[in-house]
Amino acid sequence: MLPLFPLLLLFLALGNICIYQRSTNELTRVLTVATAAVCLIWGFAIAHWSIHLLSLLLLFKYRGLAFALSSSRS
């Protein structure tokens, strides 16, 4: 069965990011960023171990890409 709570937190965080981009009020922007950060951290903390492993592999891939780009500029 698909874990719905981490997905709900992810969609809530993405919705807050959209509200952040549309808002002009400073208080609303601060609250939406804080809510999005809490939802992302909490959702990642309760996620299945396979999602943690996938995230780690993606980070290693992008880190290698960043090193390749920086060395090609030199």
Contact 11, 36 (CB under 8 A): no
Residue pLDDT, tens place only, 18-34: 999 999 999 999 999 99
pTM over 0.85: no
User: Distance of CA 7 to CAs 14, 27, 59, 66, Å?
Assistant: 11, 26, 20, 29
Mean predicted confidence (pLDDT) in 27-43:
91
